[in-house]
Amino acid sequence: MKKKYIIISLLLVLFSTLVGWEQKNNIPSPLKVLYPFSIEVNFDKPYNLIKAELPSSKNLLKSNEEEWRVTVTDSLVLTLMALQVGEIEVPSMQIVTYDELGADTLFTESFNISVLAVTDSTAQLTDIKDIQGAKDPILLVSQYSWIFTSLKYLIALLIIGLIAWLIYRYFDDIKSLILKNKLSEEDIHLLPWEYSLKELRLIKKRMLLTNGKEYLFSFEMSLLIRRFLERYYKFPASVKTTYELKTDLAKLNVSNSAKIIAVLKRLDEVKYTKGKTVTDFRSEEIYLWFEKFVNNIKEYEERKALQTEAK
């Protein structure tokens, strides 16, 4: 008798620890591709945490994924969407519950669903019908394709020819703009007045003193003056603004500094207006002034060198 009571007590304890739950499938009718449907799982008591996992499936997709993991609740709603039409099996899904005693695992029951295409209005799947009464468009290009093809190639040839002519016409100017900040190895070893007089000869050779070349002349001459000041007085004049140069020349006590700044300002006006401000601008006067300025320094340095050798 005692054994019988012991067995009954053990069975009661065992059944009291089993998880009680109920599954309810909420399937809309009709169910179409990417329409949500859900599985509702209700438990006989609340749990601290309940989470579920969807087995790998190419035909199903989780919806509202954040609801697949909930806390302090006695129910769980798993929302899914079908990705294909036809008969699809919803697999058994693992659900893990957590409480003070630990974790328990259970599995939902699998079931099948019938999925329709979005455009279907009945459960009967139908083929896509051909569009009736549609006519092929009459394209202007297809009728006169040879004209459009000829025009396309003609325009391309004209553009290429124009680019080639511009390169030929302004080759020297383009070359000078590309190489304006580069000094050859030979130029680096030239004395400041030697380098400047060489560049002045190139300016005259390229005919930058003629009317219409004021912009290029002002660009080249402004850079040449700055390079001469940089090489002769040994400070970074080529990267200084005219305003900054005025201060630096004053500190160095450079003779004719007022004239240098006045010339640079005039060159700046032409440069920054792309050659539009050329009233009373005389390229040759500036050219001759700078040539004389450099020659004076050249003569001064040569006399100084002779005096040093005489000593």
The answer, as to whether pTM is greater than 0.75, is: no
Per-residue confidence at 27, pLDDT binned at 50, 70, 90?
A: very high
- H or E stretch at 174: helix 171-178
Q: What does the pLDDT look like over 245-261, one tens digit per residue?
A: 999 999 988 888 999 99
CB 22 within 8 A of CB 38: no
CA–chain centroid gap for 171, Å, is 34
Phi and psi, residue 6, nearest 5°? -65, -45
Tokens of 183: 């000094």
Give the chain's mean pLDDT.
Answer: 81
CB 35 within 8 A of CB 82: yes
Identify the pLDDT of residue 292. 95
Q: Is 278 a residue whose pLDDT tops 60? A: yes
Distance CA 42, CA 63 (A): 19
Identify the pLDDT of residue 185. 54
Average pLDDT over residues 108-117: 89
Per-residue burial over 7-40, b if 16 or more Cβ lie within 10 Å, else e, is eeeeeeeeeeeeeebeeeeeeeeebbbebebbbe
Q: Is 140 a residue whose pLDDT tops 50? A: no
CB 199 within 8 A of CB 291: no
Q: Residue 78 contacts by C-beta under 8 Å, 6 or more apart in sequence?
A: 38, 39, 40, 41, 52, 54, 67, 68, 93, 108
CB 113 within 8 A of CB 27: yes
Distance CA 108, CA 123 (A): 27
| Strand ranges inside 54-93, DSSP E | 60-63, 69-82, 86-90
Q: Give me the residue label for tokens 């001759």.
A: 288
Q: What does the pLDDT look like over 41-94, one tens digit per residue?
A: 898 888 888 888 888 878 888 888 888 888 888 888 989 888 888 898 899 888
